[in-house]
Structure 1
Amino acid sequence: MDTATSPEARRADMVAKVRKAGYARRAEVERVLLDTPRHEFVPEADLDAAYNPWQAVITHRFSDGRSLSCASAPFVVAMMLDQLPVNPGDTVLEIGAGTGYNASLLARLTGRADLVTTIDIDPDVTDQAVRNLTAAGHGDAHVVTGDGTAGHADRAPYDRLIATVSPWDIPDRWWRQLAPEARLVAPLRWRGQSRGVGLRHVDGRLVSDSMHLSGFVYLVTEDEGERGAPITPDGTVKLHWDADQAVDPDLLHGVLDLPRAIAWSDSTIAGDEPHDGIWLRLTVTEPRVCRIDAHPDVASEVCDPIQRFRAPALVDGQSLAYLTSRRREEGDDVRWELGAIAHGPDAAELAGRLCAEVRDWSAERDARKPTLLIYPAGTPDGDLADGTVIDKTHSRFVLTYDYVPA
């Protein structure tokens, strides 16, 4: 075999690229990524796909083609393990078994496969995970077929809990299965966006110490709190919002047919510069923020968000505004100016409001840091930290946006 294209060489190259991008910062995370043959967990993928640092490998799909289960992209795996982190001897619960690859990494980190429990609702997924883990020498890991929202009380409490599917809430049974000083990492959803959040369990609440933009298969649950509906007759443009928000999609059906109001912020970004902090800031400052999705085939004259598949939007009754951008050349430098497109009776006000938020973000983007605190449902208002409160079914989210000490 050509050693340059061997699985070992590709794995080393994958890890090098992941580290260069700023992930696998912990030596033990780098080690287990190098030691674990990822391609053996995704035999349906060729080596290029198995060791692509930036792409997930889809392993199971719903009947409509949507992803049901996958092996997460290696950079995401590394990011979440950095956020966790696992110490030797830790008990670990993983929500979302996938291919068993994550559980194998966790077994190497904790030192004993029998300290790892992974759960998935789909028996086909857990069957595959069992086969892969056994072949990898980690057959002592506990693979459970069941409802991930229930956790697995038989082996609680857990020092570490990691969700590789995206929950809208922290289920109450997860709370009860956390050890007093546990850590939890999950791609949480609120106000239409998703963040991989690292949390510490402190004094009966969860406090974030890291946050990254992320996108995952949704956690299957009966009390899903994200709502969605089309606002065009053909269903190619949709809104997504939380259950506690006053959004009536019937009032917005056809709103894109109304005249546009366009505003520009005079704030610019480079083509490769992240702007997701705008959305995160809006979840703290603007109760009307949600998500708009536009199919790639939708004409820009109809809907032109900054990203077709997900962009922040503001909704107020019969009016809608969303984030957009336009190319702006500044000498030899090409940048993108951020702005807002709005429709409806209050279009001008909403577009102006969104642009004001963009300008505030641009002026303070490195000076302020978001923090998420999560309390069990029923926690009295007086016991919450100061901040923006988002009430969910099993928990209360409190978001702050504080200045970072110089």
Structure 2
Amino acid sequence: MSTHTATASPEALRAEMVARIRATGHAYRDEVEQVLLDTPRHAFVPNAGPADAYDPYQAVVTHRFEDGRSLSCASAPWLVAAMLDQLDVRPGQRILEIGAGTGYNACLLAQLTGRADLVTTVDIDTDVTRHAAEALSATGYGGVHVITGDGALGYPDHAPYDRIIVTVSPWDIPPAWRKQLAPGGRLVAPLRWRGQGRSAALTDRDGVLVSDSLHLCGFVYLLGEDDGELAGPITDDERVTLHSDRDQDIDIAALRGLLDQPRVTAWSGVTLARNESHDGIWLRLTTTDTRVCRLKVLPDVPPEVCDPVPGWWRLALADSDTLAYLTVRRVDSGGEVHAELGAIGHGPAAPELTEYLCQQVRAWAPGREQDTPTLRVYPAGTPASELTGPVIDKAHSRFVLTYDHRSPALGEG
């Protein structure tokens, strides 16, 4: 911690936080910037010091399960700003928030819509809602409706809602949210499919929810939901696990011990500059490939066992008795150090699967971050003849991701 940070006032730290968020392209809506500047975040996270409260990239855990896992937290401010940009709240709109957190986001929403009583926030945990209600009251926004209940059921008493924002991660969109969203309304939720999570900004278009932005993110999972994500260890010490969706033809148990088999490595020739993201590869593959899933590798796993790209969530492809995943190596290019993306595979078809993954990296590289698909969420039971592309089936929804304007990826026919 710098001397400046340790001695600066909360107001100065808050102004610096917002400036840094703006510099990364978030809080680009003037009204979002203003409410971030006006709201004392430290009042909602009293157990964190001001420096942590106003760190734009730090989430603050406020409640935990008995086993230590995070139950509720104050999301990192940059992500709060990004999702508020996506939500596009207008004055006078009625808002439902799923996941009360600390009450900070509800406070921001109350200011954006102009009346605290137009905001309803729901959480399943009584300790969370009590803390949120107390913080909102102490900061002058006690008019927000803080409800203890199952977020998957929404809150019909105040419906319909012009805006719904979800600050816990659902695997699907529960029917209650659709029913309580006003026609033409907007829903922002950190959805999960094929092992990765994206904050999706969705607008109701005659019963179909259509995205106009997708941000990579991670959140505490929605409790009480019929979650369709499957997970299981693939090493005997259970330090490496594989995560997939239940509509995928992936037998996780059959892959256990696969990392003990000989390794095949291939390199794509595609390099990344410092801090350049590669997550678009994962998103791109979810539009066409049903084998896409996620590896979770604990930090103490040695690279000779599993050596994926850095991060908590790692892209993998599981095909019957073969597994391949993204890896990276440092390369010197013109005197500058870059990172080259590649693939490591195990199993009988490892040479083919690693080369396929490298091909997909090469296909992604020219467009990079501009290459973003549109997510359309249809109700479950929608006939295939009415869908616009390959389907990811959920319990209550059918997800379809398509690129409206781009060349097909390698291997797409």
Residue of structure 2 equivalent to 1:329: 332
How far apart in 2 are the matches of 1:361 and 1:404? 11
Q: Is 1:61–2:64 an aligned residue pair?
A: yes
Residue of structure 2 equivalent to 1:399: 401
How far apart in 1 are the matches of 2:380 and 2:327? 36
Match of 2:269 among 266, 279, 282: 266
How far apart in 1 are the matches of 2:220 and 2:372? 27
How far apart in 2 are the matches of 1:289 and 1:120? 32
Residue of structure 1 equivalent to 2:213: 210
Residue of structure 2 equivalent to 1:339: 342
How far apart in 2 are the matches of 1:337 and 1:14? 33
Structure 1: state its 5+ residue gaps: none
Residue of structure 1 equivalent to 2:108: 105
How far apart in 1 are the matches of 2:243 and 2:389? 23
Structure 1 residue 363: Cα displacement: 2.8
CA contact (8 A) 1:293 1:308 kept: no
How far apart in 1 are the matches of 2:369 and 2:220? 30
Residue of structure 2 equivalent to 1:70: 73
Q: Is 1:36–2:29 an aligned residue pair?
A: no
CA contact (8 A) 1:195 1:214 kept: yes
How far apart in 1 are the matches of 2:297 and 2:371? 31
How far apart in 1 are the matches of 2:225 and 2:371? 36
Sequence identity of aligned pairs in percent? 62
Q: Secondary structure at the match of 2:247?
A: coil
Q: Is 1:288–2:257 an aligned residue pair?
A: no
Matching of residues 181-260 of structure 1 within 5 Å: 181-260=184-263
Q: Secondary structure at the match of 1:167?
A: coil
How far apart in 2 are the matches of 1:61 and 1:42? 14
Q: How many residues align?
A: 403
Matching of residues 16-31 of structure 1 within 5 Å: 16-31=19-34
Residue of structure 2 equivalent to 1:356: 359
The runs of 4+ residues in structure 1 deviating greater than 4 Å are none
Match of 1:117 among 120, 133, 141: 120
Q: Secondary structure at the match of 1:208?
A: strand
Post-superposition Cα deviations, 1:223-281, rounded to whole Å, max 9, x if no partner, equal 10111111011110010000101111221010000001111111111121110000001
Q: Is 1:158–2:161 an aligned residue pair?
A: yes
Structure 2: state its 5+ residue gaps: 408-413
CA contact (8 A) 1:369 1:402 kept: no
How far apart in 1 are the matches of 2:163 and 2:288? 32
Q: Which amino acid aligns with 2:259?
A: L
CA contact (8 A) 2:280 2:372 kept: no
Residue of structure 1 equivalent to 2:17: 14
Q: Is 1:180–2:183 an aligned residue pair?
A: yes
When normalised by structure 1's length, the TM-score is 0.97
How far apart in 1 are the matches of 2:368 and 2:167? 29
| Cα RMSD, aligned residues only | 1.4
CA contact (8 A) 2:233 2:253 kept: no
CA contact (8 A) 2:280 2:369 kept: no
How far apart in 2 are the matches of 1:374 and 1:393? 12
Residue of structure 2 equivalent to 1:389: 391
How far apart in 1 are the matches of 2:106 and 2:369? 35
Structure 1 residue 34: Cα displacement: 0.7
Q: Go from structure 1 to structure 2 and tell me whether the alpha carbon gap of 1:179 and 1:393 turns closer, same or farther (over 3 Å shift).
A: same
Structure 1 residue 366: Cα displacement: 5.4
How far apart in 2 are the matches of 1:367 and 1:65? 38
Q: Is 1:304–2:304 an aligned residue pair?
A: no
Residue of structure 1 equivalent to 2:368: 365
Q: Secondary structure at the match of 2:403?
A: strand
How far apart in 2 are the matches of 1:264 and 1:363? 17
Q: Which amino acid aligns with 1:333?
A: E
How far apart in 2 are the matches of 1:365 and 1:5? 39
